[in-house]
Amino acid sequence: MSGKIQKDEKEISPEVKPETLDAMLNLFKDSFSIEEARKNTLESKASMVLGFSGIIVGLVTGLISQAGGSFGVNVFTFAFIASIICFTVSGVFALLTVRLRNYMQPFATLTPEQIDELLGKEETDIKNEICKNYSDVLLNNQTLNNQKAGKLNIAFYSATLGIFLTLVTAVTAVISGLGI
């Protein structure tokens, strides 16, 4: 190896100041921790949306079965069915958010031979390797978290629409019951 790390035709020069490499390493470590925390936050929120959607679908379908299908075909029925569909879509996207993904860890797959090779290098070269590895790991993990966030947004918007339709259904039921 020529002392320079190749990545997408770009070179990271070993002539970088040691303090710059140290600052980059700290930045990568902090960014990695932030992405780990972001993943946990996204999955927690998705779990809450999933639980909420499940409860609402259970309640709404319970109300439909209690009514015995006496609603007839009207706006009330369509709003009821649409709210169930929205909450179901919300639940599906929340499930997709929490499904297991292949998150990377820095240097998780190093073999003993690779460790020996790395330890035989100069400190600057080692830090360059570490920076490159963190860069690859962060790119992968950020991409996965961005995908999770997109699915969680769909779940949230579907749940919000479901809440709106449930409120429309409730208001329609009250108005119908009052003869207004």
pLDDT for position 3: 42
Q: Where are the alpha helices (DSSP H) in 68-122?
A: 75-98, 112-119
pLDDT higher at 5 or 18 = 18
Q: pLDDT category, 14, cuts 50, 70, 90? A: low
Pick the most confident of 18-22, 81-85, 170-174: 81-85
Residue 32 reports pLDDT greater than 60: yes
Q: Per-residue pLDDT averaged across 27-39, rounded?
A: 89
Residues 6+ apart with CB under 8 A from 57: 84, 87, 88, 91
Point out the least confidently predicted range of 13-17, 55-59, 114-118. 13-17
pLDDT for position 149: 94
Q: pLDDT category, 142, cuts 50, 70, 90? A: very high
Is 156:90 a contact under the CB 8 Å cutoff? yes
Helix, strand, or coil (residue 7): strand
φ/ψ of residue 107, rounded to 5: 55, 35
